Amino acid sequence: MTKLTLDDIADLRAYEREREEFRSAVIAVKKRRRIHVGPFITLLFENRDTIRFQIQEMARAEKTFTDEGIQTELDIYNPLIPERGTLAATLFLELTTDDQLREWLPKLVGIERHLVLRLGAGGTAVEVRCTVDRDHEKQLTRDQITASVHYVHFALSSDQVDRFGSGKVSLVIDHPEYQHHATLTPENVAELAADLAG
């Protein structure tokens, strides 16, 4: 997928004219790209549309009018647009109370390194462990407490790309304090296969 440029980001007046329709379209896309794993972790697999929406909404909320301001957002979020053979996701810890935050944020330190994409089942399954976005890691990784949001990538070999979708695909979290998995739906798999194909 090609990265976004300044020309892809509408100015605020133009964005207001397209916002309702674009927002509805992105909500539908996100529904196919959102995977819940266990009771309170969700991954949203990003693509060009989800990232454009993120940047447009931030520019709208923060009233960013300058090319320099938009370019800063592009520099932050463009790495989350997957390249051929890769997937990129935002991991959300959906903790909704102070008690949950106090209990789980210290327990889940390192969660961003404990995600595995499992292709197939049983003894023939192939596992692809995530990597952490380097620039975001500097801001989000702590020794004593984790952040509620992380950015991760999965890099698949050409054989793994070919195998993706030909059988069961699961997302596994193998953190010592949080061990859960989710099987991707055919709709999830079709959506992500398009990312892998570039």
pLDDT digits (tens, 9 = 90+) for 132-169: 977 767 666 667 899 999 999 999 999 999 999 788 99
For residues 114 and 41, what is the distance between their CA atoms, to the nearest angstrom? 12
Under 8 Å between Cβ of 53 and 80:
no
**Torsion on CA atoms 97, 103, 106, 108, rounded to nearest 10:** -80
First to last CA, the chain: 5
Residue type at 139? Q
User: Nearest to residue 169, comparing CAs of 40, 50, 43, 2?
Assistant: 43
Q: What tens digit of pLDDT does each residue of 2-34 get?
A: 899 999 999 999 999 999 999 999 999 999 999
Q: What percent of the chain has pLDDT over 70?
A: 96
Phi and psi of 49, rounded to 5°?
-70, -45
pLDDT of residue 121: 82
Q: Can you give the pLDDT at residue 167? A: 83
Average pLDDT over the chain reads 93
Mean predicted confidence (pLDDT) in 58-64: 93
* Residue 135 near residue 79 (C-beta atoms within 8 A): yes
75 closest CA partner among 182, 24, 3, 15: 3
pTM over 0.75? The answer is yes
pLDDT at 141: 62
Amino acid 35: pLDDT: 98
